[in-house]
Amino acid sequence: MGDEPIMGDYLSADNIVALVTALIGVGVSIGVVWYERLVRGKSIGYRVQMDIAVDSDNELFSALPRMPEATLVLLRIENDGAEDIRHGDYTDRDEQRGLTVQFSGRHVQSAAVTQPDPSGLIEHFRLSADATGVRHRDNKVFLPRVPLNPGEHYKLLIRLTGGPVRSRVEITGGIAGGRVKPNRSVPMDEKPPLFSRPSRLITVMLTVCVTVLAGIIIVGKDTPPPMDCATGRLKVTGSTAFAPVMQQIARKYESQCPRSTVTVAAQGSEQGVRQLADAGAETGKGTAPAVIAMSDGPKPDGSYPNLRDHRVAVIAFALVANNDVPVTNLTTGQIRAIYRGDIANWDRLGGPDLPILLVSRTADSGTRDIFRRRILGGRGEPAFTSRDCRHKNSPSDRVIRCELDSTAEVLGTVARLPGAIGYSEVRAAASSAGVRTLTIDGQAPAPQAVADANYPFTEIEYAYTSGLPPADSLAASFLNFTLRGVGQDLLTAGGHLPCYTPEGLQRCQEPTAGASK
């Protein structure tokens, strides 16, 4: 008798509708999968994963002759159908040729196969011990007949000349009972979708939404977090310049993974890296501390050998001055003269009769180290000479220079003191009242400067962990979210160039990018 009300609840009209709807959704999903596998048949897809200009002075290509408009293209060729493609499925009359890659307006200089999956595919590109099946002539690359199971792929790295990037690229060739077609371009390491967009949309909408609805009504359980979420607590320390965007990423992660807590407590790049190393030493080799240290630029060579670096984004910085200073541009030579103490008044630079007040960061600051390396040519800043940033500690001091703990303090002090000059991350400077950003050698510190190697005041932002965090840890999940997930959009919105994008890949692989000459 006690069970009857419960059964009545389960057989309510709402629950019956939910159950029937869920069954329909699952049935439609199975039908979509069956239809997709049946009609796709044999198919080879291709997509351009990278198409960039090549600097002739790049050490990777220094052995090749200097060529005009040199470009580098990475092509991915994949079996995106439902059936195997065998050697005999290719229909070209030339038995040694399967597919032809053609470039509009460009001339092929060299071509090589890279990253075959599985690796055994590489054997199909060798005609003999001394002959390769990958040939090129004029604007074409000829590929051998490579057997591919569903989901298998290989990539071509091709160097071209004589034309601009993103010119037309086409692959032609016959597949008996199948087709060769272009696919949507996606980031380099992303796998192609198993199903077409309509089928994915129908499957997701009917299966996930309806099943979750039925589960909420009948079982009454909360919707679980995304599969890649991790639980626990994580501390992000280090760079104050990078702290604002890390706080946004932390809040976004917590909103998607509600059983996690990510605290951003920026204290300066060097101090954050040092504290991470100390925490790792205390916990020992068996357990990695739940800490990530952000650093403006890499840690010193040879220091903290147990730390593992992860390149996050290219970050741009700016030289800022008080609004009362009408100077808008400084050359690298003038900046160095100011920080040597050779120029101590703005009237020497066409400005008002005001002493130049140097508002700097402490020695733990990564921004200060970047300013020293990129702008001051490796020379350090003058000694600390002022406690209040406006009066000398001693009449014999040549300059007035103070040191502050954070980017926000630097910007606030420069805005408050007439004649003050300092440095900051670009977006923080642009949004601060009372300061103006200065061009350096005529180059503007706009947010897009991160993509322009000619602007000298840029650096790579690093995330450091104590060793490699376990795959199921909150540190690993949060790093993946930041580097390859939703965090990329927040990095871009913050004026930074994510390293794991086609545009950022090349900049983040250049350790000297943006260095002053």
Q: What is the pLDDT of residues 1-31, one digit of tens each?
A: 434 444 444 455 556 666 666 677 666 666 6
Distance CA 179, CA 39 (A): 12
Assigned fold of 39-182: Immunoglobulin-like (2.60.40)
CA-nearest of 221, 216, 225, 227 to 255 is 225
Structure tokens at 116: 């075959």
The CATH label, of 3.40.50.720, 3.40.190.10, 3.65.10.10, 3.20.20.190, for the domain at 315-458 is 3.40.190.10
Helix (H) / strand (E) containing 280: helix 269-283
Residue 210's pLDDT is: 58
Q: Answer whether 100's CB lies under 8 Å from 142's CB.
A: yes
pLDDT band at 392 (very low <50, low <70, confident <90, very high): very high
First-to-last C-alpha distance (Å) of the chain: 88
Distance CA 389, CA 399 (A): 11
pLDDT surpasses 70 at 285: no
Domain ranges in the chain are 4-35+207-218, 39-182, 234-314+459-508, 315-458
pLDDT surpasses 60 at 36: no
What is the percentage of the chain residues whose pLDDT exceeds 90?
47
Give CATH superfamily name and number for 234-314+459-508.
Periplasmic binding protein-like II (3.40.190.10)
- pLDDT tens figures, 138-182: 999 999 999 999 989 999 999 999 888 888 999 998 898 889 999
Query: Does this chain's domain 39-182 share its CATH topology with 315-458?
Result: no
Least confident of 63-77, 191-205, 211-225, 313-327: 211-225
The upper half-sphere exposure of residue 136, i.e. CA atoms within 13 Å in the direction of its Cβ, equals 20
Cite the DSSP H helix spans in 301-456.
332-340, 366-370, 407-416, 426-430
Amino acid letter, residue 280 = G
Least confident of 162-166, 209-213, 314-318: 209-213
pLDDT surpasses 70 at 405: yes
Q: Answer whether 365's CB lies under 8 Å from 328's CB.
A: no
Average pLDDT over residues 291-310: 91
pLDDT band at 220 (very low <50, low <70, confident <90, very high): very low
Q: Answer whether 335's CB lies under 8 Å from 376's CB.
A: yes
- pLDDT tens figures, 494-516: 888 899 988 888 888 865 433 33
Look at phi and psi of residue 378 and say left if phi exceeds 0, alpha if psi is from -120 to 50, else beta. left
More confident call, 288 vs 408 = 408
Structure tokens at 82: 């439902």
Pairing, β 420-425 against β 307-322: antiparallel
Number of Cβ within a 10 Å radius of residue 271: 21
pLDDT band at 301 (very low <50, low <70, confident <90, very high): confident
